[in-house]
Structure formats: C-alpha cells, structure tokens
Structure 1
C-alpha cells in the first residue's frame, strides 16, 4: 500500500465523522511503521478511541491522524515508557478527542444516535422514549411506561432528613443527596440489587424527578406508587398544572437537555464509570461537576436576573451594566452554537404557545426578546429553561433541576458506553515544579 499524506479541509458540519478536526492524515502502513506495532494493535487503538480514523478518498481503507500517533509515541509504542503510555490514556483539552456514538453536535443542535433532538420534540416524543434511544440505541415504536421506583428499607427516614435541609441548598446538591439516599436504601450494590443497568437507570431517574419536590414551599421527597411519566411526576412535584401542553413542554425541556456531547459533567460521569462506579455514583459525580455558566449555575443566575427585574427596561439596564463591566452575562451565548442555541430557540417557541400565561412569564419572554433585539444577545438553553419556568410559574430553582433530570439520561448513556470501551480514563500529570 503506497504511503499517502494529505491535509483535510475545515469541516462543513461538525457532526460528520471525518470532520471532527483538521490535521495531517497517513495510511495504515505508515501508522504502524511510525508506532512500531502490528496492524491488529492499530485496530485495537482505534477501537479504544486512542487513534481517530477517517475513510480514505475512494473508500479504500482508512487514514489516521498523525497527532494521535505522536501522542501515543511515534518512536515505538512497544518501547514507550509507562509515563508516555499513561499520558495518552486520555489526552483532554486542546485537540484531544474521545470517540462516542451517542451524540453529535451540529448547527441544528444535538443529534441523539443520529436523530435530531429537535425532531424528537416536534414529533411529540416523550422523555422516556428519548432515554431508551440514548441508552439502547433504539427509538421505541410504542409509548414507554416505566414501573414505579421501589426503594429499600430506611429510605423514608433518609428522605425526611433531606427535607430538613432543602431550603438551604441548591437543586444540584439536593438531587445528588436524594439519589444517594435512594441508592443507600438498596444496599452496597444498588445496581446489582435492581437486576440490570437499565432498570437501575429508570429508577434513578424517577428518584431524581420525585426529588424536585424539595424545591416546593413545603419541601417533600416522596416517590409515586403508580406508574407515571417523568413529565407528570415533575408537574406533580413542582405544582404545575398537568395539562397536555404543560406536559409536552416539560418533555421538550428534558429531551433538549438530555445530552450535549462531552460537557464537563458528562466527562466526569465517564471518568467515574471507567473506574468501576455504579450508575448512581456516576450521576452524583456528574451533579457535582454541573456548576458551570452553561449548566446548573447558569440556570440559577439567568433565573435570578429575570426574577429581580420587574420590567423589561429594568432587565436591559441590568444587562447593560454587566456588559459595561465586561462581566459574563448569564443565559446568553454558547461556544458550540455561535449563531444561536437552537435548543433555546425551539423551547422559547413552545413557551410562547402556553395559554393562559402568568404575567411573570410574559415579562420573562419580553426580557429575552428585547435582549436579542437591542443588545444582540442570543439566549442559550439555561435562559430558555428560566423563561419556561417563569411561564409555568414553577418554584425557584426549577430550571437547574429540569436540566439536571434531563441531562441524567445522557450521563447514564455515556457511563454505559464507557463501560463497553473497557479502559480507565486516567490522564497523567507532567510535573513542572521545583526538583
């Protein structure tokens, strides 16, 4: 096979397999010679996500990224030191890439297993159907009904204890301790106790949805006895009228929140899974990292800014002050969506259709519209969730809770995929301190 080396052009769309990054590509023979390995070993490195491969022009074999070969040790993988080997176990930041078949990001938003999230929303799919797609790779033909979660002995005492501290904590911490309480009631190996990872994931999600009752004026953490959709559970716990339009928009919020590729919290879930953690621990690990401006904290700050502004003029003055100080403006912009977050656009469209709408919701929508028209700011998903919760008259803290419950579906999917990958996500540190 002749050696080839070429440059690939910048990608036209980010969700196409060959267009993840631009760089130098070489053929298989060149790759194995540079690494000093066998062809079977090259294939093993590709399957583990250590080397990216793209189809060659004409479909004859694959080409491999030189930067990945260099990261593994181009002078001979078999002769590389333990430090060099460990350093490539996961090379994160910069241009490092972890392979996944779960979610791709494009200008139209996330695609779950190749299916646009927006299409799932527009076709009135339920959140449960979306989770089955993420976890199992198949979109169900019929409606999905989950059996109620059944905690173990002592759960009620733990739940009552959590209600005592609910008013002093934010939603991510409350959901985290609620999940751990559910897992603790099942014993040392909750996933094994429940019998299968998917069953554990369903009960975990139901436990999180029920825990949103901790945000109410009178905090509660009570699991439902009868089968209910996650959207119905949320409506019940958050005191939202369970009309068809309200349940549909709650499903939409959960689906659009479900995954956004390898965000920090999702990466944290994969690290935990690679170390052997059960799904409950993977999700609570992710919740601990769900603190960024584009995730949980962003939801809270966007919600607070809307709540503090009695009029759209007051809100604009607040934003102008932040821009003048060159402070981050919560609820606007996203580096993955420079032309605007399509998830937010769709959710805001659905929010405008809610009728009747409380004055709080009307003001919130006006605030976001004028921020775009007069300041050129583009709402992201946390802002859209904050507006939605104003439209639904939900309790404070609900936007971050909705995003967390929805994103748990993605965290579970990535944890399961990492288990199948079969390698430890363990970067090495390069010491640069005094000798």
Structure 2
C-alpha cells in the first residue's frame, strides 16, 4: 500500500532520477516535501511524483520539455555561480543567508560570485568624478533611479578601459568599477571607494540609525538568484560578445518590467495601504474574497517560505527604526498568514525596510538592483569566458506556408 509521502531514495527510484534531480524538482515547486518523522530527513509527495510520471509517459517531446523549462522548469544551463534549494540559496557553495547574517559586504560577496581567488579588483583605485553627460542625468530629479541608470551605462561604456579585453583580471577590474558606479547612479551620488551599503544608506537617510546594516544585509541577499529573467537576459547579451556595460544594461532593462522589479513597487504600495488600516486582517480577507493576489507573499521556488525575506525581516526587527512602524507591518504579516498561510518574500522585506524608514518604493528597488548587479556581472563574466552563443530555437505555431521555396 503506497503512503502519501515517500523517502528521498524511494521518490528518486520511483521517478528514475538521482537525488540531485529530485531536489531540483522540489526547488521548482513541482514536488511538495515535508519534514520526515525523525526531524532530520524529508519526505516527498507521492501524488506529485505520480503526476510527473504521467506527464513523462504522455509522450512529451524534447521541444515541449524545452519550452516548459523556460517557465520555472528544469535547469537549462550549467553555472557555478549560484544554487537554489528549498531552504535557501548559495553562492559558489556558500550560504547567502549565512553571509548576510555574518556581516559580509556586497563587495566581498562579489569577489565570491566572480571567482576572484586571491585577486581583489576593488583594491584598484578607480573612483572618479562623473563625466558632464552623467552629471546632467543626475540633475534630472524626475528620472526614476532605474531609468536614470539604464540611460547612463552606455555613456560610461565609452570610457571603459578594458571594455573588450579577454584578460580575466581586466574584466573583473571593470566589473568592480561598474558595480560601484551603478550603486552611485541608483542613489544619485558620486562614485566612492567607501563600502557600497554605506554610500547608499547615507544618500537616503544620514540619520537612519541601523539603515546601513539593513542595506548591507539586503544587498548580499539580493546579489544573485540563479537564472532569473534579468540574469538570463544579461547572459544572452554577454554571449554575443557585448561589453559588461551592455550586458548589465540588458539586466537592468529586464528588471524594469512589472513582472520582475515591479513586484517591489507593488509590495511597497500594499504596505502603505495597510498601514492606514485599523484592521488589516479585514482588508486582507476582502482582497482574498475578490480573488485578488497579495503582493510579495509566497514564492514558487520556496514552498516553505522565502528565507531571504525571513532573514531581512529579522534584521529589521533588531534595528528598531524610528518612527517605529514595525508593529503595523508585523500585524499585516500575521493577517496574511492567518488567512492563507503565505510567508513574505524578499520583495516584501525590501518594501518593509523602505516603509519603516519612510523611504520610497524607488529606494527599495534601487537596493535590489544594486545587489543584483553583482550577480549580473558574475553571469556576464561566466558567459563571456565560456565563449558560447545563446541561440535557442522557436517552435513555430503560426500559419504554415502553402508551398516551400
């Protein structure tokens, strides 16, 4: 008689895969898992496994499988940069959550992501004042941070010293300068050799007690997240031989979309709305009754809750910012969990940090973009060094020609 849940080995055997592939299915939300009876191991849903087997036996061809892989499916590319597991993500085998908790800076995280070894590209003195064309952009106060940065990067590329150098050290030196300059552009300040989290926090709230530490933690947690849409776009650009500036522009442009970076803005708006409510649980219940989603709660790759959000919210609780809006934010989290059991993800946590310090949604997105720039550059470097062009084929489903030739 089959049980509802199977051990890891039984589940892998039933699927005809190894344990690594089983874990990949779980990390992408295709197989549910729960703690085993001993509290140390995990069990895997037998019904989910049966559904996977049925789909395989239905004769799904290679083309259909490849198409499915583009939407939260199985891995389609090899990388040594980051790994996502149900309980967290890793940078070259190092837990991102542990790095964030233990005080790592974004620069230190970039050294790991870029596989710098004993070389520190940030040690090269390369800070500079903005060229006049960039200074003009920064004076346009109406330009949102992301759009301002997208417009500036091609101008900065004109003066890049090693834009098309094949030397790994040159490429990493350019990456280090680009990371610092991107952070400065996002918060409309001058490039600096100071730690990025300090530069960004000071540009927004010089009196924000605890804010630099929260920005540091958030930058590290956001530094990379495997092959998300913006990282894939960055890799496609880099695969053509485009410069780091051009590849990073592709990442920024992709992040600007409402289905990617827009999640942070929706989370911020949701928090602001709920901070005005005396009984947020009633408004949450009303949203759910209308069939509306709750912005920034739940994550496809983390069925048990996004650990990035948990770590950043825990750090926010420790700082006790003033004015103290944390109790209201925590009541909102409790209300959502009580109604539908969903946990806040990293987009919510970023918006919560901004809201707690009375900062805008643009600030929350700027933190995300500055952190993710380290990952985009890692993917661009890895793709450039592979020397391969990313060129998938399309499955044509339109009207067929009446005759060929």
Pair 1:156-2:131 in alignment:
yes
Matched residue SS, 2:89: strand
2:190 is aligned to 222
Pair 1:408-2:361 in alignment:
no
**Alpha-carbon distance in structure 1 between the residues aligned to 2:74 and 2:109:** 30
- Per-residue CA deviations over 1:108-160 (Å, capped at 9, x if unaligned) read 211110111011112211111111000016599x9975645336xxx432223
Q: CA deviation at 1:164?
A: 4.8
2:81 is aligned to 102
| Equivalent pair of 1:111/1:117 in contact (CA under 8 Å) | yes
Deviates more, 1:305-314 or 1:96-105: 305-314
Pair 1:126-2:105 in alignment:
yes
Change (3 A) 1:258 1:430: same
1:38 is aligned to none
Match among 306, 314, 322 for residue 357 of structure 1:
322
| Equivalent pair of 1:295/1:403 in contact (CA under 8 Å) | no
Q: CA deviation at 1:200?
A: 1.1
- Per-residue CA deviations over 1:310-358 (Å, capped at 9, x if unaligned) read 3454544443343233233211111000110011001100000113432
Change (3 A) 1:373 1:272: same
Matched residue SS, 2:298: coil
| Equivalent pair of 2:280/2:335 in contact (CA under 8 Å) | no
Pair 1:116-2:95 in alignment:
yes
- Per-residue CA deviations over 1:337-388 (Å, capped at 9, x if unaligned) read 0110011001100000113432344433432233223442310100000111
Pair 1:330-2:295 in alignment:
yes
Matched residue SS, 1:223: coil
Q: CA deviation at 1:426?
A: 0.6
1:254 is aligned to 219
**Alpha-carbon distance in structure 1 between the residues aligned to 2:351 and 2:70:** 31
Change (3 A) 1:13 1:162: farther
Match among 178, 181, 184 for residue 210 of structure 1:
184
- Per-residue CA deviations over 1:165-206 (Å, capped at 9, x if unaligned) read 442x4432222223333223448x646599811111111111
**Alpha-carbon distance in structure 2 between the residues aligned to 1:11 and 1:98:** 21
1:61 is aligned to none
TM-score where L is the length of structure 1: 0.71
Match among 193, 199, 204 for residue 238 of structure 1:
204
2:269 is aligned to 304
**Alpha-carbon distance in structure 1 between the residues aligned to 2:194 and 2:385:** 31
Structure 1 residue runs without a partner (length 5+): 1-6, 23-69, 73-86, 215-220
| Equivalent pair of 2:122/2:176 in contact (CA under 8 Å) | no
**Larger RCO, structures 1/2 (Cα 8 Å, 6+ apart):** 2
**Alpha-carbon distance in structure 2 between the residues aligned to 1:255 and 1:11:** 37
| Equivalent pair of 2:254/2:260 in contact (CA under 8 Å) | no
| Equivalent pair of 1:240/1:393 in contact (CA under 8 Å) | no
Match among 381, 385, 392 for residue 357 of structure 2:
392
TM-score where L is the length of structure 2: 0.76
**Alpha-carbon distance in structure 2 between the residues aligned to 1:362 and 1:179:** 40
**Alpha-carbon distance in structure 1 between the residues aligned to 2:341 and 2:69:** 36
**Which 4+ stretches in 1 moved above 6 angstroms?**
11-14
Change (3 A) 1:348 1:204: same
**Alpha-carbon distance in structure 2 between the residues aligned to 1:265 and 1:156:** 27
Structure 2 residue runs without a partner (length 5+): 1-11, 27-60
Match among 148, 157, 161 for residue 183 of structure 1:
157
Q: CA deviation at 1:423?
A: 1.4
**Alpha-carbon distance in structure 2 between the residues aligned to 1:352 and 1:207:** 30
- In the alignment of these two chains, the number of paired residues is 354
